[in-house]
Every structure is written in C-alpha cells, then in structure tokens.
Structure 1
C-alpha cells in the first residue's frame, strides 16, 4: 500500500503512527495491497474552508475524507481480484484533534490514530448519518483500533524478545559457534 503524508498544518505530528494506523485499517478492510492513499494535515483555517466548501458547515472539523475510486472491502469470493486503485484523500486537522484529545482525556497520538481509521472507513463507504450506520461504523472503528494496538504491542514484545535472545547468544558465545 502506498501512503503519502503531507503535513501542511504547522503542527508536529507523529507521521509514522498515522501511516501505520492507515496501513493497518486498509489491510484489515481487505483493501488491495497496491492501493494508494493520501493523508494531508492542515491548519484550522484550511479545514474550515474545506468544511464549508464540501459539507456546507461552518468552522473546522477533525477529519474529512475524499474518496477517489469505488472500492468494496473484501469483495466477492467468485469475482476476479480488483486491481490497485487510488483510495482517496484523508484530510486531518491536528490542532482540532489536539483539542479533542484533551477534552476526551486521551493522547494526541491516540486521537490521530482514531481519526485516521475513521477517515479510511469513510473512504470505503462507511457513514454515520443514521443510528444503524453509526453503530456499525464506530463499532468497526473501535475494533480496528483495539486490534492495531494489540498488533503494535505484539511487535514490540517480539522485538524485545529478539534483542534479549541476541544478547544471551552473544554472552554465551553460542552466536560465534553458529557462524562457524
């Protein structure tokens, strides 16, 4: 998956975290591995302009999604595999996200991850205009975030274990014997 991130917001953003969250959500939703995604971080003024232009709503918002190609998560088992496509653009407002994170008493990083997953789901056609849609979308979003954190924790644990194993092998001299 090709994910491009552009930070035009003037706010320091954990770019790798946003890319990881987007990549995980896309993989979880069976988006073709060759699909492309663009994530742009903007300031409050730019987000306000986009919000008015595209949603006819005043003021800034946290995330907006602009789908490009129609993609269906998972596809049909009897259909030919879809080729790669341009999924679309996600626009995030880090300043708005920071205020939202503070109000909800969680980290800025967590808020960005949630908003990124939210944006990916919108690109895939999910919405929350109706109560049933909202329940489905936010349930899926929550599960993807939980699974993403678990996968990150597993990777970190495995990496720590590999480092301990390497140190142990070096200290016992076994690593030298394996190389001979």
Structure 2
C-alpha cells in the first residue's frame, strides 16, 4: 500500500498550486516506493507523509534546532514522515536554474520522498545518483499529470 500524501501551504509569500502539486506527489509516490533502498527505509511502512511548504525564516529555525545549522535550506526530511520545503529557496533556486517555481517545489517534494526511501546525498557519488533518480521520477510524474 502506498503512503497517503498530505501537502500544506504554511507560508504566505508565494502562491502554491496545491492541487497540481498533490497530483505530482501522487504520480511520483509509486516510483519513490519502488526506489526504496532497504526494508529499514522509513517509506517502506509509512502510512502518511506530511509535507509543509514554509518560509526561509521557518525552515532556518528548524534547520538550526534539529541540524545545528541556522541557515535556510531547500528541504528538510524527518524520518517520521514529515517533509519541510522552503518556498523562498525554491523561488530563488528556480530563478537561478531557469526553472518555474512550481517545478522547483515539485523537485523538492520528490527529493524529500527519496530521502524517506533511504536515499542520501551527503557524498558526491550518492548525490549524483539521487539527482538522476529524482529527475527521472519528476519527469515521469510531470508527464503523467
């Protein structure tokens, strides 16, 4: 059984296309589950994944509290099934990479789901593998929606 995906907009600075993002998440979920790296990956038996789209200020607060780095970041994934996505970072990074804002948010969603599937991006080789996988999953999800 696939985990249920709940997505919430908890920031006010950016308009988020939540119905579209929910469709992208639903389309990407089977591929993320299929990409589970071990039976110990949280996504393997998770009933619900909750995604909150927040501001840089909020994600920096959480980043500092839980990871000892009080700077904004794009995505924070907790193994209990919570993903935080910074809308401000998605806006900035999207412009830098010539990607639409919604595409960048969707990329971060897939990135967080892959972390729950046991993927890691701390080492260069792992980051490259993960980036390739998330690009393929996002591409297929965008085609499906």
Q: TM-score, structure 1 length as denominator?
A: 0.67
Aligned to 2:21: 18
Which segments of 5 or more consecutive residues in structure 1 lack a partner in the other structure?
A: 69-87, 153-180
5+ residue gaps, structure 2, are: 34-42
Q: Distance in 2 between matches of 1:135 and 1:44?
A: 25
Report the equivalent of 1:46: 58
Deviates more, 1:31-40 or 1:103-112: 31-40
C-alpha RMSD of the superposition:
1.9
Bigger relative CO (Cα 8 Å, ≥ 6 apart)? 2
After superposition, give the CA deviation of every residue in 1:104-123 in whole Å (9 maximum; x if it has no partner): 11100110111110010011
Residue equivalent to 1:93: 86
Secondary structure class of the residue paired with 2:57: helix
Paired residue total: 133
Is it true that 1:143 corresponds to 2:119 in the alignment? no
Deviation at 1:34, TM superposition (A): 7.9
- Please state how far the C-alpha of 1:131 moved relative to its aligned partner: 1.9
| Residue number among 120, 123, 136 corresponding to 1:130 in the alignment | 123
Which protein shows a greater Rg? 1
